[in-house]
């Protein structure tokens, strides 16, 4: 599946991410700046914060676990309605074409 990552300055990166990977690792593997993923995807750092593009929000959905919701509250950048932790989003064929925006900062 393809995922498009848009930096806070508007730079777009569209890459192929393997099914079953998560959106955070997709950015790291491809050297895309704007997502840190400091905890390695353990849902304990909030440095993989992204904003889901509105058109995709329904498919991606809100956080399913409380840990993510709580962590998001501590994210460095402003939390919006479409905020998610990208390590908690699994890339699937249903999400082919997904677009996420990176916040200005992860720290
Ligand atoms: Fe740490 Fe997502 S990588 S919470």
Tens digits of residue pLDDT in 18-39: 999 999 999 999 999 999 999 9
In the chain, the number of structural domains is 1
- Examine residue 67 and state whether it is found in any structural domain, yes or no: yes
CATH number (domain holding residue 69):
3.10.20.30
Which residue is closest in CA terms to ligand 1's atom 4?
A: 43
Find the 88 Cα to ligand 1 centroid distance in Å.
Answer: 8
pTM (global) more than 0.80 = yes
- Examine residue 107 and state whether it is found in any structural domain, yes or no: no
Average pLDDT score, the chain:
97
Q: Which residues pair with 99 in a beta bridge?
A: 4
Here the tokens at position 1 are 């599946």
- Examine residue 8 and state whether it is found in any structural domain, yes or no: yes
Cβ–ligand 1 contact at 46 (below 6 Å): yes
- DSSP string covering 37-93: -TTSSSS-S-TTEEEE-HHHHHHH-S-SSHHHHHHHHT-SSPP-TTEEEGGG-B--G
Find the 35 Cα to ligand 1 centroid distance in Å.
Answer: 9
107, 11 contact by CB (below 8 A): no
Residue 41 lies in domain:
2-101
pLDDT-derived band at 43 (thresholds 50, 70, 90) equals: very high
- Examine residue 106 and state whether it is found in any structural domain, yes or no: no
What is the arithmetic mean of pLDDT over 51-75? 96
């Amino acid at each position: 599946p393809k995922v498009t990552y848009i930096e806070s300055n508007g730079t777009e990166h569209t890459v192929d991410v393997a099914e079953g990977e998560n959106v955070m690792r997709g950015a790291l593997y491809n050297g895309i700046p704007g997502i840190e993923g400091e905890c390695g995807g353990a849902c304990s750092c909030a440095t993989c914060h992204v904003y889901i593009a509105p058109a995709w929000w329904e498919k991606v959905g809100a956080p399913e676990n409380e840990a993510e919701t709580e962590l998001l509250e501590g994210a460095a950048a402003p939390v919006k309605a479409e905020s998610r932790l990208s390590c908690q989003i699994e890339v699937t064929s249903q999400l082919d074409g997904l677009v996420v925006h990176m916040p200005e900062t992860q720290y």
